[in-house]
Amino acid sequence: MLKAIGELGGRGSPPSNREIAIAAGITDEGQASKLLKRLEELGPIKSTARDRTPGEANAWRLTALGVEVERALRAKSGM
């Protein structure tokens, strides 16, 4: 998921739960939401949606920690 957030975030706007799930190959949107919340609690991602209204999509970005972890993942996978 971190790789998906990094790639999608590079296009200029923070990606939504759905965009991240699709890019990461996760078909269950509920599962994707749970994973994103867990990652946020651990620190590598942060929701950029402030004062969301009900039904508005989340938007995510990598934190400094997330950037480091994503770079390490890319180096490990040879990308």
CATH number at residue 72: 1.10.10.10
Scanning the structure block, which residue is given the tokens 């400094």? 64
Write down the pTM of the prediction: 0.83
Identify the band that residue 76 occupies on the pLDDT scale cut at 50, 70 and 90: confident
Query: Is the distance from CB of 33 to CB of 41 less than 8 angstroms?
Result: no
Per the structure, the count of domains in the chain is: 1
Q: Which long-range contacts (CB under 8 A, 24 or more apart) does 68-71 make?
A: 69/2, 69/44, 70/2, 70/3, 70/5, 70/6, 70/44
User: Whole-angstrom Cα distance, residue 17 to residue 60?
Assistant: 8
Triad 2, 7, 44: Cα angle to 5°: 25
Summarised one tens digit per residue, pLDDT across range 15-64 is: 999 999 999 999 998 999 999 999 999 999 999 876 667 777 789 999 99
Domain limits for position 36: 2-77
